[in-house]
Structure 1
Protein backbone atom coordinates (compact mmCIF):
# COMPACT_ATOMS: atom_id res chain seq x y z
CA UNK A 1 0.00 0.00 0.00
CA UNK A 2 1.13 3.57 -0.57
CA UNK A 3 0.30 6.86 1.04
CA UNK A 4 -2.55 8.76 -0.56
CA UNK A 5 -1.34 11.14 -3.26
CA UNK A 6 2.19 9.71 -3.32
CA UNK A 7 3.54 9.92 -6.86
CA UNK A 8 7.32 9.80 -6.64
CA UNK A 9 9.65 6.87 -7.19
CA UNK A 10 13.10 6.90 -5.59
CA UNK A 11 16.27 5.11 -6.63
CA UNK A 12 19.11 4.83 -4.13
CA UNK A 13 22.76 3.88 -4.56
CA UNK A 14 24.11 3.28 -1.06
CA UNK A 15 27.84 2.70 -0.97
CA UNK A 16 30.34 2.76 1.86
CA UNK A 17 31.41 6.30 1.04
CA UNK A 18 28.27 8.03 -0.16
CA UNK A 19 24.53 7.58 -0.59
CA UNK A 20 23.16 8.96 -3.85
CA UNK A 21 19.43 9.35 -4.47
CA UNK A 22 17.29 10.27 -7.44
CA UNK A 23 13.57 10.93 -7.08
CA UNK A 24 11.33 10.97 -10.16
CA UNK A 25 7.83 12.43 -10.02
CA UNK A 26 5.48 14.59 -12.07
CA UNK A 27 7.84 17.54 -11.69
CA UNK A 28 10.85 15.70 -13.13
CA UNK A 29 13.90 14.43 -11.25
CA UNK A 30 15.56 15.61 -8.08
CA UNK A 31 18.83 14.34 -6.66
CA UNK A 32 20.25 14.18 -3.18
CA UNK A 33 23.37 12.88 -1.49
CA UNK A 34 24.36 11.87 2.02
CA UNK A 35 27.20 10.07 3.76
CA UNK A 36 27.35 6.33 3.06
CA UNK A 37 27.25 3.37 5.45
CA UNK A 38 29.85 0.69 6.27
CA UNK A 39 27.96 -2.16 4.56
CA UNK A 40 25.06 -4.40 5.56
CA UNK A 41 27.37 -7.16 6.76
CA UNK A 42 28.82 -4.95 9.50
CA UNK A 43 27.38 -5.28 13.04
CA UNK A 44 25.37 -2.05 12.84
CA UNK A 45 25.04 -2.10 9.07
CA UNK A 46 21.25 -2.06 8.84
CA UNK A 47 20.77 0.81 11.30
CA UNK A 48 23.40 2.94 9.61
CA UNK A 49 22.02 2.09 6.17
CA UNK A 50 18.54 3.23 7.24
CA UNK A 51 19.97 6.51 8.50
CA UNK A 52 21.96 7.06 5.29
CA UNK A 53 19.03 6.34 2.97
CA UNK A 54 16.63 8.56 4.91
CA UNK A 55 19.22 11.36 4.91
CA UNK A 56 19.64 10.99 1.15
CA UNK A 57 15.88 11.06 0.62
CA UNK A 58 15.59 14.20 2.72
CA UNK A 59 18.35 15.79 0.66
CA UNK A 60 16.26 15.02 -2.43
CA UNK A 61 13.21 16.56 -0.76
CA UNK A 62 11.41 13.24 -0.40
CA UNK A 63 9.82 12.47 2.95
CA UNK A 64 7.45 9.86 4.34
CA UNK A 65 4.21 9.71 2.38
CA UNK A 66 5.61 11.34 -0.77
CA UNK A 67 6.83 8.15 -2.45
CA UNK A 68 4.97 5.23 -4.01
CA UNK A 69 8.06 3.00 -4.40
CA UNK A 70 11.75 2.94 -3.44
CA UNK A 71 14.55 0.87 -4.99
CA UNK A 72 17.78 0.60 -3.01
CA UNK A 73 21.15 -0.81 -3.98
CA UNK A 74 23.14 -1.28 -0.77
CA UNK A 75 26.74 -2.33 -0.29
CA UNK A 76 26.89 -5.76 1.34
CA UNK A 77 23.38 -6.86 0.34
CA UNK A 78 24.57 -9.93 -1.55
CA UNK A 79 26.82 -11.04 1.31
CA UNK A 80 24.12 -10.44 3.94
CA UNK A 81 20.69 -11.22 2.45
CA UNK A 82 19.00 -11.35 5.86
CA UNK A 83 20.26 -7.85 6.56
CA UNK A 84 19.00 -6.73 3.15
CA UNK A 85 15.55 -8.06 4.05
CA UNK A 86 15.63 -6.19 7.39
CA UNK A 87 16.67 -3.00 5.61
CA UNK A 88 13.74 -3.36 3.21
CA UNK A 89 11.33 -3.88 6.12
CA UNK A 90 12.60 -0.90 8.11
CA UNK A 91 12.68 1.45 5.13
CA UNK A 92 9.20 0.42 4.02
CA UNK A 93 7.91 1.35 7.48
CA UNK A 94 9.83 4.64 7.53
CA UNK A 95 8.90 5.69 3.99
CA UNK A 96 5.33 4.37 3.98
CA UNK A 97 5.95 2.80 0.58
CA UNK A 98 7.04 -0.53 -0.93
CA UNK A 99 10.81 -0.95 -0.87
CA UNK A 100 13.07 -3.18 -2.98
CA UNK A 101 16.62 -3.80 -1.74
CA UNK A 102 19.49 -5.40 -3.65
CA UNK A 103 23.22 -4.77 -3.90
CA UNK A 104 24.72 -1.48 -5.01
CA UNK A 105 26.49 -3.32 -7.84
CA UNK A 106 23.19 -4.78 -9.06
CA UNK A 107 21.49 -1.40 -9.32
CA UNK A 108 24.60 -0.20 -11.13
CA UNK A 109 24.08 -3.01 -13.67
CA UNK A 110 20.42 -2.09 -14.03
CA UNK A 111 21.41 1.52 -14.65
CA UNK A 112 24.14 0.58 -17.10
CA UNK A 113 22.48 -2.18 -19.12
CA UNK A 114 18.76 -2.19 -18.19
CA UNK A 115 18.64 -5.99 -18.28
CA UNK A 116 20.87 -6.58 -21.30
CA UNK A 117 24.01 -8.78 -21.26
CA UNK A 118 27.22 -7.23 -19.99
CA UNK A 119 29.23 -6.74 -16.84
CA UNK A 120 29.33 -3.85 -14.42
CA UNK A 121 32.79 -3.43 -12.97
CA UNK A 122 32.21 -1.68 -9.66
CA UNK A 123 35.50 -0.53 -8.14
CA UNK A 124 35.21 1.85 -5.23
CA UNK A 125 35.95 1.09 -1.59
CA UNK A 126 35.50 -2.56 -2.62
CA UNK A 127 35.42 -4.46 -5.91
CA UNK A 128 32.58 -6.53 -7.32
CA UNK A 129 31.63 -7.45 -10.86
CA UNK A 130 27.98 -8.11 -11.72
CA UNK A 131 27.57 -10.12 -14.91
CA UNK A 132 24.41 -10.83 -16.87
CA UNK A 133 25.40 -13.36 -19.48
CA UNK A 134 23.76 -14.04 -22.83
CA UNK A 135 21.69 -16.86 -21.35
CA UNK A 136 20.14 -14.45 -18.85
CA UNK A 137 22.07 -15.79 -15.85
CA UNK A 138 23.15 -13.23 -13.27
CA UNK A 139 26.25 -13.78 -11.14
CA UNK A 140 28.91 -11.85 -9.28
CA UNK A 141 32.69 -12.09 -9.27
CA UNK A 142 34.81 -11.00 -6.32
CA UNK A 143 32.97 -8.89 -3.78
CA UNK A 144 34.46 -11.08 -1.06
CA UNK A 145 35.22 -8.15 1.21
CA UNK A 146 38.44 -6.38 2.17
CA UNK A 147 40.13 -9.29 3.91
CA UNK A 148 39.60 -12.06 1.35
CA UNK A 149 38.87 -10.21 -1.89
CA UNK A 150 38.03 -6.77 -3.32
CA UNK A 151 41.07 -7.02 -5.60
CA UNK A 152 42.22 -3.71 -7.04
CA UNK A 153 39.75 -1.71 -4.93
CA UNK A 154 40.21 1.52 -3.05
CA UNK A 155 40.91 -0.49 0.09
CA UNK A 156 43.44 -2.59 -1.85
CA UNK A 157 45.15 0.53 -3.24
CA UNK A 158 45.24 2.26 0.12
CA UNK A 159 46.71 -0.77 1.85
CA UNK A 160 49.34 -1.24 -0.86
CA UNK A 161 50.26 2.44 -0.72
CA UNK A 162 50.67 2.48 3.05
CA UNK A 163 52.63 -0.76 2.99
CA UNK A 164 54.99 0.85 0.48
CA UNK A 165 55.43 3.80 2.84
CA UNK A 166 56.30 1.51 5.74
CA UNK A 167 58.73 -0.52 3.63
CA UNK A 168 60.44 2.67 2.45
CA UNK A 169 60.64 3.87 6.06
CA UNK A 170 62.50 0.69 7.02
CA UNK A 171 64.81 0.86 4.01
CA UNK A 172 63.31 -2.29 2.52
CA UNK A 173 61.50 -0.49 -0.26
CA UNK A 174 62.04 2.30 -2.77
CA UNK A 175 61.65 5.90 -1.67
CA UNK A 176 58.25 7.20 -2.70
CA UNK A 177 56.27 10.42 -2.78
CA UNK A 178 53.60 8.50 -0.91
CA UNK A 179 55.60 9.03 2.29
CA UNK A 180 54.84 12.75 2.40
CA UNK A 181 51.24 12.12 1.43
CA UNK A 182 50.87 9.53 4.19
CA UNK A 183 52.32 11.98 6.67
CA UNK A 184 49.67 14.54 5.84
CA UNK A 185 46.98 11.83 5.83
CA UNK A 186 47.76 9.96 9.02
CA UNK A 187 50.98 11.10 10.64
CA UNK A 188 54.48 9.60 10.74
CA UNK A 189 55.02 6.01 9.56
CA UNK A 190 54.96 4.46 13.02
CA UNK A 191 51.50 6.01 13.62
CA UNK A 192 49.91 4.57 10.48
CA UNK A 193 49.07 1.07 11.77
CA UNK A 194 47.16 2.47 14.74
CA UNK A 195 45.43 4.99 12.47
CA UNK A 196 43.99 2.10 10.45
CA UNK A 197 43.43 -0.49 13.19
CA UNK A 198 41.72 1.99 15.48
CA UNK A 199 39.33 3.26 12.84
CA UNK A 200 35.60 2.65 13.09
CA UNK A 201 35.70 1.19 9.55
CA UNK A 202 39.27 0.11 8.73
CA UNK A 203 38.51 -0.83 5.13
CA UNK A 204 36.99 2.56 4.42
CA UNK A 205 39.91 4.25 6.19
CA UNK A 206 42.38 2.40 3.97
CA UNK A 207 40.34 3.38 0.92
CA UNK A 208 40.57 7.03 1.91
CA UNK A 209 44.29 6.85 1.09
CA UNK A 210 43.63 5.51 -2.42
CA UNK A 211 43.19 8.99 -3.99
CA UNK A 212 46.71 9.82 -2.80
CA UNK A 213 48.04 6.71 -4.56
CA UNK A 214 46.25 7.69 -7.78
CA UNK A 215 47.48 11.27 -7.55
CA UNK A 216 51.08 10.20 -6.93
CA UNK A 217 50.87 7.81 -9.89
CA UNK A 218 49.56 10.62 -12.10
CA UNK A 219 52.53 12.74 -11.05
CA UNK A 220 55.00 10.02 -12.05
CA UNK A 221 55.91 8.37 -8.75
CA UNK A 222 57.28 4.96 -9.71
CA UNK A 223 56.06 3.11 -6.63
CA UNK A 224 52.54 4.47 -6.97
CA UNK A 225 52.46 3.70 -10.69
CA UNK A 226 53.42 0.09 -10.00
CA UNK A 227 50.67 -0.22 -7.39
CA UNK A 228 48.04 1.17 -9.75
CA UNK A 229 49.20 -1.12 -12.56
CA UNK A 230 48.88 -4.15 -10.27
CA UNK A 231 45.38 -3.06 -9.21
CA UNK A 232 44.33 -2.66 -12.84
CA UNK A 233 45.66 -6.12 -13.71
CA UNK A 234 43.70 -7.64 -10.84
CA UNK A 235 40.45 -6.06 -12.00
CA UNK A 236 41.14 -6.92 -15.65
CA UNK A 237 41.72 -10.55 -14.67
CA UNK A 238 38.25 -10.70 -13.14
CA UNK A 239 36.83 -9.07 -16.28
CA UNK A 240 38.42 -11.76 -18.43
CA UNK A 241 36.11 -14.29 -16.74
CA UNK A 242 32.95 -12.25 -17.36
CA UNK A 243 30.77 -11.19 -20.30
CA UNK A 244 31.72 -8.13 -22.34
CA UNK A 245 31.02 -5.27 -22.70
CA UNK A 246 32.18 -3.85 -19.40
CA UNK A 247 30.77 -0.76 -17.70
CA UNK A 248 33.16 0.61 -15.05
CA UNK A 249 31.49 2.42 -12.15
CA UNK A 250 32.69 3.65 -8.77
CA UNK A 251 35.17 6.16 -7.50
CA UNK A 252 38.27 4.14 -8.42
CA UNK A 253 37.12 2.61 -11.73
CA UNK A 254 36.32 6.04 -13.16
CA UNK A 255 39.31 7.93 -11.72
CA UNK A 256 42.56 8.58 -13.54
CA UNK A 257 44.99 7.05 -14.15
CA UNK A 258 43.11 3.86 -13.22
CA UNK A 259 40.31 4.36 -15.77
CA UNK A 260 42.56 4.88 -18.79
CA UNK A 261 44.80 1.97 -17.82
CA UNK A 262 41.80 -0.35 -17.43
CA UNK A 263 40.42 0.63 -20.84
CA UNK A 264 43.80 -0.03 -22.41
CA UNK A 265 44.11 -3.48 -20.85
CA UNK A 266 40.55 -4.54 -21.71
CA UNK A 267 40.93 -3.41 -25.31
CA UNK A 268 39.13 -1.14 -27.79
CA UNK A 269 35.36 -1.42 -27.87
CA UNK A 270 35.06 -3.56 -24.77
CA UNK A 271 34.36 -0.71 -22.34
CA UNK A 272 31.09 1.22 -22.47
CA UNK A 273 29.80 4.26 -20.66
CA UNK A 274 26.83 3.32 -18.45
CA UNK A 275 23.50 4.46 -19.88
CA UNK A 276 22.39 5.85 -16.53
CA UNK A 277 23.87 6.44 -13.10
CA UNK A 278 23.38 3.66 -10.50
CA UNK A 279 20.48 5.39 -8.68
CA UNK A 280 18.49 5.15 -11.92
CA UNK A 281 18.90 1.38 -11.70
CA UNK A 282 17.14 1.65 -8.37
CA UNK A 283 14.24 3.39 -10.13
CA UNK A 284 13.95 0.47 -12.54
CA UNK A 285 13.94 -2.15 -9.77
CA UNK A 286 11.47 -0.17 -7.67
CA UNK A 287 8.96 -0.09 -10.52
CA UNK A 288 9.48 -3.46 -12.23
CA UNK A 289 9.56 -6.82 -10.38
CA UNK A 290 10.09 -8.79 -13.61
CA UNK A 291 13.69 -7.87 -14.48
CA UNK A 292 16.52 -10.44 -14.63
CA UNK A 293 17.77 -8.98 -11.34
CA UNK A 294 14.73 -10.03 -9.32
CA UNK A 295 16.26 -13.10 -7.66
CA UNK A 296 18.69 -10.75 -5.85
CA UNK A 297 15.95 -8.41 -4.63
CA UNK A 298 14.28 -8.30 -1.18
CA UNK A 299 10.86 -6.61 -1.42
CA UNK A 300 8.77 -5.43 1.50
CA UNK A 301 5.50 -3.48 1.77
CA UNK A 302 4.82 -1.06 4.61
CA UNK A 303 2.89 -2.56 7.50
Structure 2
Protein backbone atom coordinates (compact mmCIF):
# COMPACT_ATOMS: atom_id res chain seq x y z
CA UNK A 1 0.00 0.00 0.00
CA UNK A 2 1.21 3.50 -0.78
CA UNK A 3 2.56 5.65 2.02
CA UNK A 4 0.48 8.60 0.79
CA UNK A 5 -2.81 7.25 2.07
CA UNK A 6 -5.57 4.86 1.23
CA UNK A 7 -7.76 6.99 -1.03
CA UNK A 8 -5.55 8.60 -3.68
CA UNK A 9 -5.97 7.96 -7.40
CA UNK A 10 -3.23 8.97 -9.83
CA UNK A 11 -3.81 9.26 -13.56
CA UNK A 12 -1.52 9.28 -16.59
CA UNK A 13 -3.77 10.33 -19.46
CA UNK A 14 -2.24 10.22 -22.93
CA UNK A 15 -3.53 10.04 -26.47
CA UNK A 16 -3.02 6.29 -26.68
CA UNK A 17 -4.14 5.25 -23.19
CA UNK A 18 -5.35 6.55 -19.85
CA UNK A 19 -3.72 4.67 -16.97
CA UNK A 20 -4.78 4.88 -13.35
CA UNK A 21 -3.28 3.57 -10.12
CA UNK A 22 -4.86 3.71 -6.68
CA UNK A 23 -3.02 3.92 -3.40
CA UNK A 24 -4.64 0.59 -2.42
CA UNK A 25 -2.57 -1.03 -5.16
CA UNK A 26 -5.18 -1.58 -7.88
CA UNK A 27 -4.52 -0.29 -11.40
CA UNK A 28 -6.26 -0.24 -14.78
CA UNK A 29 -6.39 1.60 -18.08
CA UNK A 30 -8.75 2.82 -20.77
CA UNK A 31 -8.40 4.15 -24.33
CA UNK A 32 -6.74 7.57 -24.53
CA UNK A 33 -8.16 10.90 -25.63
CA UNK A 34 -6.99 13.43 -28.22
CA UNK A 35 -8.10 16.97 -28.93
CA UNK A 36 -10.59 17.43 -31.73
CA UNK A 37 -13.81 15.85 -30.54
CA UNK A 38 -17.07 17.66 -29.87
CA UNK A 39 -16.28 17.96 -26.14
CA UNK A 40 -12.75 16.97 -25.18
CA UNK A 41 -13.35 17.82 -21.51
CA UNK A 42 -16.28 15.40 -21.30
CA UNK A 43 -14.35 12.75 -23.25
CA UNK A 44 -11.39 13.09 -20.89
CA UNK A 45 -13.63 12.76 -17.84
CA UNK A 46 -15.29 9.69 -19.36
CA UNK A 47 -11.91 8.06 -20.05
CA UNK A 48 -10.64 8.70 -16.51
CA UNK A 49 -13.85 7.37 -14.99
CA UNK A 50 -13.78 4.33 -17.28
CA UNK A 51 -10.27 3.45 -16.10
CA UNK A 52 -11.30 4.09 -12.47
CA UNK A 53 -14.28 1.73 -12.85
CA UNK A 54 -12.04 -0.89 -14.45
CA UNK A 55 -9.90 -0.68 -11.31
CA UNK A 56 -12.98 -1.50 -9.23
CA UNK A 57 -14.19 2.04 -8.46
CA UNK A 58 -12.00 2.36 -5.36
CA UNK A 59 -12.82 4.97 -2.73
CA UNK A 60 -11.02 8.14 -3.84
CA UNK A 61 -10.62 11.35 -1.88
CA UNK A 62 -7.77 12.89 -3.88
CA UNK A 63 -7.12 12.46 -7.60
CA UNK A 64 -4.06 13.73 -9.48
CA UNK A 65 -4.45 13.91 -13.24
CA UNK A 66 -1.49 14.24 -15.61
CA UNK A 67 -3.10 14.73 -19.03
CA UNK A 68 -2.31 15.58 -22.61
CA UNK A 69 -5.73 17.24 -22.80
CA UNK A 70 -5.61 19.87 -20.04
CA UNK A 71 -8.05 22.66 -20.94
CA UNK A 72 -6.51 26.12 -21.32
CA UNK A 73 -9.48 27.81 -19.68
CA UNK A 74 -9.57 27.68 -15.86
CA UNK A 75 -13.33 27.29 -15.90
CA UNK A 76 -13.03 24.25 -18.15
CA UNK A 77 -10.44 22.73 -15.82
CA UNK A 78 -12.92 23.14 -13.00
CA UNK A 79 -15.63 21.57 -15.15
CA UNK A 80 -13.36 18.59 -15.80
CA UNK A 81 -12.74 18.23 -12.07
CA UNK A 82 -16.45 18.52 -11.29
CA UNK A 83 -17.42 15.90 -13.87
CA UNK A 84 -14.98 13.44 -12.36
CA UNK A 85 -15.69 14.30 -8.72
CA UNK A 86 -19.45 14.01 -9.17
CA UNK A 87 -19.07 10.32 -9.97
CA UNK A 88 -15.89 9.42 -8.13
CA UNK A 89 -16.69 11.32 -4.95
CA UNK A 90 -13.24 12.91 -4.78
CA UNK A 91 -12.88 16.00 -2.60
CA UNK A 92 -9.72 17.38 -4.20
CA UNK A 93 -8.38 17.12 -7.75
CA UNK A 94 -5.05 18.29 -9.12
CA UNK A 95 -4.86 18.69 -12.90
CA UNK A 96 -1.70 19.30 -14.92
CA UNK A 97 -0.03 18.53 -18.21
CA UNK A 98 1.36 15.00 -18.27
CA UNK A 99 4.77 16.55 -18.86
CA UNK A 100 4.64 17.82 -15.27
CA UNK A 101 3.89 14.40 -13.81
CA UNK A 102 6.60 12.88 -16.01
CA UNK A 103 9.06 15.48 -14.72
CA UNK A 104 8.14 14.91 -11.07
CA UNK A 105 8.46 11.17 -11.48
CA UNK A 106 11.66 11.08 -13.49
CA UNK A 107 13.63 13.57 -11.39
CA UNK A 108 12.02 12.84 -8.05
CA UNK A 109 10.56 16.32 -7.86
CA UNK A 110 13.95 17.96 -8.37
CA UNK A 111 15.12 20.52 -10.90
CA UNK A 112 16.27 19.76 -14.44
CA UNK A 113 14.89 18.68 -17.79
CA UNK A 114 12.62 15.81 -18.73
CA UNK A 115 11.90 14.89 -22.34
CA UNK A 116 8.82 12.66 -22.64
CA UNK A 117 8.44 10.91 -25.98
CA UNK A 118 5.27 8.94 -26.56
CA UNK A 119 2.43 9.52 -29.01
CA UNK A 120 3.34 13.18 -28.62
CA UNK A 121 6.36 14.99 -27.22
CA UNK A 122 6.64 17.11 -24.09
CA UNK A 123 9.75 18.72 -22.68
CA UNK A 124 9.47 20.25 -19.22
CA UNK A 125 12.27 22.22 -17.61
CA UNK A 126 12.50 23.38 -14.02
CA UNK A 127 15.30 25.70 -12.93
CA UNK A 128 16.67 25.54 -9.41
CA UNK A 129 14.26 28.31 -8.50
CA UNK A 130 10.98 29.03 -10.25
CA UNK A 131 8.17 27.02 -11.74
CA UNK A 132 7.97 24.62 -14.64
CA UNK A 133 8.54 25.76 -18.22
CA UNK A 134 7.18 23.92 -21.26
CA UNK A 135 8.95 23.39 -24.58
CA UNK A 136 7.10 21.89 -27.54
CA UNK A 137 4.16 19.62 -26.82
CA UNK A 138 1.92 21.61 -29.14
CA UNK A 139 -0.22 18.63 -30.09
CA UNK A 140 -0.43 16.43 -33.14
CA UNK A 141 -1.83 19.15 -35.40
CA UNK A 142 0.80 21.80 -34.68
CA UNK A 143 3.80 20.08 -33.16
CA UNK A 144 4.91 16.97 -31.28
CA UNK A 145 7.84 16.72 -33.68
CA UNK A 146 9.73 13.48 -33.24
CA UNK A 147 6.92 11.69 -31.40
CA UNK A 148 5.21 8.46 -32.40
CA UNK A 149 2.34 10.16 -34.23
CA UNK A 150 4.76 12.43 -36.09
CA UNK A 151 6.98 9.51 -37.14
CA UNK A 152 4.03 7.26 -37.99
CA UNK A 153 2.34 9.93 -40.08
CA UNK A 154 5.56 10.68 -41.97
CA UNK A 155 6.01 6.97 -42.68
CA UNK A 156 2.47 6.52 -43.96
CA UNK A 157 2.70 9.66 -46.07
CA UNK A 158 5.95 8.40 -47.63
CA UNK A 159 4.33 5.05 -48.43
CA UNK A 160 1.35 6.74 -50.07
CA UNK A 161 3.59 9.03 -52.12
CA UNK A 162 5.59 6.05 -53.31
CA UNK A 163 2.44 4.13 -54.20
CA UNK A 164 1.29 7.16 -56.25
CA UNK A 165 4.59 7.30 -58.10
CA UNK A 166 5.36 10.69 -56.53
CA UNK A 167 7.95 9.48 -54.10
CA UNK A 168 10.94 7.17 -53.73
CA UNK A 169 10.04 3.46 -53.47
CA UNK A 170 10.36 2.37 -49.87
CA UNK A 171 9.86 -0.76 -47.81
CA UNK A 172 7.39 1.33 -45.84
CA UNK A 173 4.89 0.44 -48.58
CA UNK A 174 5.02 -3.19 -47.45
CA UNK A 175 4.98 -2.21 -43.78
CA UNK A 176 1.90 -0.06 -44.39
CA UNK A 177 0.10 -2.89 -46.16
CA UNK A 178 0.95 -5.28 -43.31
CA UNK A 179 -0.35 -2.88 -40.68
CA UNK A 180 -3.34 -1.33 -42.47
CA UNK A 181 -4.24 -3.52 -45.43
CA UNK A 182 -4.47 -2.33 -49.02
CA UNK A 183 -2.77 1.05 -49.43
CA UNK A 184 -5.50 2.13 -51.85
CA UNK A 185 -8.28 3.65 -49.80
CA UNK A 186 -6.06 3.86 -46.71
CA UNK A 187 -6.59 7.60 -46.42
CA UNK A 188 -10.36 7.10 -46.29
CA UNK A 189 -10.14 4.44 -43.59
CA UNK A 190 -7.71 6.49 -41.49
CA UNK A 191 -9.72 9.70 -41.65
CA UNK A 192 -12.86 7.80 -40.65
CA UNK A 193 -11.16 6.05 -37.71
CA UNK A 194 -12.13 7.65 -34.36
CA UNK A 195 -8.80 6.40 -32.96
CA UNK A 196 -6.73 7.64 -35.91
CA UNK A 197 -4.07 9.39 -33.80
CA UNK A 198 -3.38 6.24 -31.81
CA UNK A 199 -3.38 3.98 -34.88
CA UNK A 200 -0.96 6.23 -36.74
CA UNK A 201 1.29 6.49 -33.68
CA UNK A 202 1.46 2.72 -33.43
CA UNK A 203 3.05 2.65 -36.89
CA UNK A 204 6.15 4.46 -35.60
CA UNK A 205 8.03 1.28 -34.58
CA UNK A 206 7.66 -0.03 -38.14
CA UNK A 207 9.27 3.16 -39.46
CA UNK A 208 12.11 2.88 -36.94
CA UNK A 209 12.64 -0.78 -37.86
CA UNK A 210 12.79 0.07 -41.56
CA UNK A 211 15.33 2.80 -40.83
CA UNK A 212 17.51 0.36 -38.92
CA UNK A 213 17.25 -2.07 -41.83
CA UNK A 214 18.70 0.57 -44.15
CA UNK A 215 15.65 2.01 -45.90
CA UNK A 216 16.74 5.55 -46.91
CA UNK A 217 13.25 7.07 -46.72
CA UNK A 218 12.66 5.74 -43.22
CA UNK A 219 16.18 6.72 -42.20
CA UNK A 220 15.54 10.33 -43.20
CA UNK A 221 12.35 10.38 -41.11
CA UNK A 222 14.19 8.96 -38.11
CA UNK A 223 17.13 11.34 -38.46
CA UNK A 224 14.77 14.33 -38.63
CA UNK A 225 12.93 13.08 -35.54
CA UNK A 226 16.22 12.88 -33.63
CA UNK A 227 17.15 16.42 -34.65
CA UNK A 228 13.77 17.68 -33.41
CA UNK A 229 14.04 15.87 -30.08
CA UNK A 230 17.56 17.17 -29.54
CA UNK A 231 16.36 20.71 -30.26
CA UNK A 232 13.72 20.26 -27.52
CA UNK A 233 16.38 19.23 -25.03
CA UNK A 234 18.63 22.13 -25.97
CA UNK A 235 15.75 24.58 -25.47
CA UNK A 236 14.92 22.84 -22.20
CA UNK A 237 18.51 23.31 -21.03
CA UNK A 238 18.23 27.04 -21.69
CA UNK A 239 14.90 27.21 -19.85
CA UNK A 240 16.37 25.34 -16.87
CA UNK A 241 19.03 28.00 -16.38
CA UNK A 242 21.83 27.04 -18.80
CA UNK A 243 23.81 25.30 -16.07
CA UNK A 244 26.52 22.88 -17.22
CA UNK A 245 25.56 19.33 -16.32
CA UNK A 246 21.85 20.05 -15.91
CA UNK A 247 19.98 16.85 -14.98
CA UNK A 248 18.19 15.27 -17.96
CA UNK A 249 15.90 12.24 -18.07
CA UNK A 250 14.27 10.87 -21.21
CA UNK A 251 11.06 8.92 -20.69
CA UNK A 252 8.10 7.53 -22.59
CA UNK A 253 7.12 4.50 -24.63
CA UNK A 254 8.73 5.73 -27.83
CA UNK A 255 11.81 6.92 -25.95
CA UNK A 256 12.48 3.29 -25.05
CA UNK A 257 12.09 2.28 -28.70
CA UNK A 258 14.48 5.05 -29.78
CA UNK A 259 16.90 4.83 -26.87
CA UNK A 260 20.05 3.67 -28.75
CA UNK A 261 19.77 6.37 -31.43
CA UNK A 262 18.52 9.06 -29.07
CA UNK A 263 21.26 8.55 -26.48
CA UNK A 264 23.87 8.57 -29.25
CA UNK A 265 22.45 11.86 -30.58
CA UNK A 266 22.29 13.44 -27.12
CA UNK A 267 26.00 12.82 -26.63
CA UNK A 268 26.39 15.92 -28.76
CA UNK A 269 25.08 17.87 -25.76
CA UNK A 270 27.76 16.49 -23.43
CA UNK A 271 28.75 19.10 -20.88
CA UNK A 272 25.38 20.84 -21.08
CA UNK A 273 23.27 18.01 -19.68
CA UNK A 274 23.80 15.01 -17.46
CA UNK A 275 21.69 12.18 -18.87
CA UNK A 276 20.26 10.12 -16.02
CA UNK A 277 18.00 7.12 -15.66
CA UNK A 278 14.48 8.13 -14.69
CA UNK A 279 13.65 7.54 -11.05
CA UNK A 280 10.01 6.83 -11.87
CA UNK A 281 7.23 7.32 -14.39
CA UNK A 282 4.24 9.59 -14.79
CA UNK A 283 2.12 7.77 -12.24
CA UNK A 284 4.93 8.03 -9.70
CA UNK A 285 5.16 11.74 -10.41
CA UNK A 286 1.41 12.18 -9.99
CA UNK A 287 1.63 10.39 -6.66
CA UNK A 288 4.39 12.77 -5.56
CA UNK A 289 2.31 15.78 -6.60
CA UNK A 290 -0.59 14.68 -4.41
CA UNK A 291 1.11 16.44 -1.52
CA UNK A 292 4.15 18.14 -3.09
CA UNK A 293 2.77 20.22 -5.96
CA UNK A 294 3.90 23.69 -4.90
CA UNK A 295 7.30 23.47 -6.61
CA UNK A 296 5.55 23.44 -10.01
CA UNK A 297 3.66 26.65 -9.31
CA UNK A 298 0.62 27.42 -11.43
CA UNK A 299 1.41 24.50 -13.74
CA UNK A 300 -0.77 22.45 -11.38
CA UNK A 301 -4.44 23.41 -11.15
CA UNK A 302 -6.07 22.57 -7.81
CA UNK A 303 -9.82 22.07 -7.44
CA UNK A 304 -11.45 21.45 -4.07
CA UNK A 305 -15.02 20.42 -3.37
CA UNK A 306 -17.19 23.18 -1.96
The TM-score, its normalising length taken from structure 1, stands at 0.86
User: For the structure 1 residues 209 and 275, does the alpha-carbon distance in structure 2 shift closer, same or farther, using more than 3 Å as the test?
Assistant: same
| Structure 1 position 231, deviation (Å) | 0.5
Q: How does 1:50-199 map to 2 (within 5 A)?
A: 50-63=45-58, 66-77=59-70, 79=72, 81-97=74-90, 98-199=92-193
Q: Distance in 2 between matches of 1:249 and 1:129?
A: 10
Q: Which residue of 2 aligns with 1:274?
A: 278
| Structure 1 position 82, deviation (Å) | 4.3
Q: Which residue of 1 aligns with 2:13?
A: 14
SS of residue matched to 2:256 = coil
Q: Distance in 1 between matches of 2:214 and 2:74?
A: 43
Q: Distance in 2 between matches of 1:236 and 1:147?
A: 20
Which has the larger displacement, 80-89 or 153-162? 80-89
Q: Distance in 2 between matches of 1:254 and 1:80?
A: 33
| Structure 1 position 165, deviation (Å) | 0.7
Q: Which residue of 1 aligns with 2:242?
A: none
| Structure 1 position 139, deviation (Å) | 0.8
Q: Distance in 2 between matches of 1:114 and 1:30?
A: 22
SS of residue matched to 2:275 = coil
| Structure 1 position 43, deviation (Å) | 3.0
Q: Determine if contact 2:132/2:299 at 8 Å carries over to the other structure.
A: no
| Structure 1 position 81, deviation (Å) | 4.8
CA RMSD of aligned residues (A): 2.2
**Structure 1 runs of 4+ with >4 Å offset:** 78-82
Q: Distance in 2 between matches of 1:81 and 1:208?
A: 32
Q: Determine if contact 2:44/2:69 at 8 Å carries over to the other structure.
A: no
Q: Distance in 1 between matches of 2:71 and 2:134?
A: 9
Q: Distance in 2 between matches of 1:192 and 1:155?
A: 16
- Aligned residue pairs, count: 289
Answering whether residue 298 of structure 2 is matched by residue 299 of structure 1, we say no
Q: Determine if contact 2:10/2:287 at 8 Å carries over to the other structure.
A: yes
Q: Distance in 2 between matches of 1:160 and 1:174?
A: 13
Which has the larger displacement, 230-239 or 85-94? 85-94
Q: Distance in 2 between matches of 1:224 and 1:188?
A: 20
Given candidates 243, 251, 254, the residue that maps to 1:252 is 254
1:227-251 deviation digits (Å, cap 9, x = unpaired): 1121111111111111343222222
| Structure 1 position 70, deviation (Å) | 1.0
